[in-house]
Amino acid sequence: MHALPEQDDEELASLAVVLPLALAGFVVAAGCWTLFAVAGVHVKAQLALSSVQFGVLLAAPMAVSALLAIPAGLCARRFGARAVMLFCLTGLALCMALLLVANSYPAHLIVAAGLGLAGGFYSAGLHYVTSHCRQRLGLVLGIFGAGVTGAAFNYYLVPLFHEAYSWQGVPLAYLIVLLLVIALVLLLTDARQYGSAEGARYAGRPVSELLRNGRSLPLCLYFGVVAGSFFALALWLPDFLSAQFGLQLGAGARMAQWFVIPGALAQIAGGALSDRLGSTPVTALALIASLVALFVLSYPPMTLHIRGVEGDIVVNFALPVILERGLVILLGVALGCAMGSLQREVILANRAEASLFAGLLLVSACSVAFLLPVAFGAINQWLGIRTAVFMLLFGLLGLCLLMFAVGTRHRVYQYLS
């Protein structure tokens, strides 16, 4: 009679250790992952990069993360999530050390590719926390996903180090923190809990069999569009806001943090609300809110010449900085809620294969996040309209909402019939 409460207490105690460590690791990994979002502006000026080259530099971590996501998830099933997490953190530490001596575009591109190991950490870390949690899965996943707030650290650290000394001090700081997190994981977690025996239960099942769940694959696609848009904007906004409003890079980066931090924390709210209300209504409302924000943000500053009775009337239109900041916050919160609810729905339906489906979520997100910065750079260079990036995202998320609504209606019809 007392076995179940004791088991719950043991699970809670284990989660109290595992979740903070996984969250701390993801915070640092996310900071490394998006380092070039701010530092890349200095690299762009130093190496005289074009907009397309700069977009490729921003997108490289996402591309490598997409390639590593599923292999990292499979390795977590086979060899243990803890081992994969430590491997990814060690690789990120080596990338930070290499960045300290990089002085050419190819060298920076190699470092940017290595930062994709943060995606492998996400796949393994999500599996790690899921295996310790049976209840309130949405809340726990939301807390872990909120580790993407680490991306906002760069908005503070890079301008701060650049003014005091040089932005190259940021990789050194990350290197020290990474080594500290590695030491904590080694000391406070047990390697025997997640050995190869853990993956043996599913090792005999082919991946194709695990992917036959037709309900989960479209949800992975929707998550990819939402999360990929969030990551791409987190990379692009500092440069966009600085150029759009004539701000210093530090001011543009601080303004961009109002997108990243509320959006990352909103994953907790999205997961918790999904536990209470269900994922479908939370996702739909979040996507609608994001479309409203994107619709307004997509309007560029313009001058209208209206031919009146007594002469031409000139009307100047431009969003004030305060309104732009409010819309950026709304967009970040909406995307974060959608990410939390979609992530919860996919993992809840596939708990036994959480690491594999975490990899699928990351593949879809990183594939979109890889393509979007390149598309942003091309649009900026060829059209010359900075806000056109929001027009592109409006179309993508609008299509995503339409497909999600059609799929939901189809499932309801099948259930009733």
Check residue 53 and give its pLDDT.
84
Check residue 199 and give its pLDDT.
43
Check residue 166 and give its pLDDT.
74
Decide: 98 and 134 in contact? Cβ < 8 Å: no
Superfamily of domain covering 16-199+247-416: MFS general substrate transporter like domains (1.20.1250.20)
Question: Strand, helix or coil at 306?
Answer: strand
Question: What are the residues whose beta carbons fall under 8 Å from the beta carbon of 83, sequence distance 6 or more?
Answer: 75, 191, 194
Q: Spell out the domain ranges in the chain.
A: 16-199+247-416
DSSP state of 192: G
* DSSP assignment string, 29-73: HHHHHTTHHHHHHHHHHHHT--HHHHHHHHHHHHHHHHHHHHHHH
pTM exceeding the 0.85 threshold for the entire prediction? no
Decide: 287 and 400 in contact? Cβ < 8 Å: yes
What token pair was written down for 114? Answer: 């290595």
Check residue 391 and give its pLDDT.
92
What's the Rg (C-alpha) of the chain?
Answer: 22
Judged on CB neighbours under 10 Å (0-12, 13-18, 19+), 387 is middle
Q: Whole-angstrom Cα distance, residue 116 to residue 144? A: 18
* List of long-range contacts for 40-49, beta carbons under 8 Å, 24+ apart: 41/238, 41/239, 41/242, 41/249, 42/158, 42/162, 42/167, 42/249, 43/108, 47/104, 47/105, 47/108, 49/105
Check residue 11 and give its pLDDT.
62
Check residue 6 and give its pLDDT.
53
Decide: 67 and 362 in contact? Cβ < 8 Å: no
Q: Whole-angstrom Cα distance, residue 256 to residue 156? A: 11
CA 276 to chain centre: 24
What token pair was written down for 359? Answer: 């990899």
Distances (CA, A) of 305 to 57, 140, 301: 40, 54, 14
Residues of the chain with pLDDT under 70: 1-13, 134-135, 192-215, 249, 410-417
Closest CA to 336 of 218, 219, 227, 216: 227
Check residue 242 and give its pLDDT.
80
What token pair was written down for 237? Answer: 């906004």
CA 190 to chain centre: 28
Decide: 397 and 291 in contact? Cβ < 8 Å: yes
Instruction: Give the angle 14-19-23 at the CA atoms, nearest 5°.
Output: 160
Look at the chain and count its residues.
417
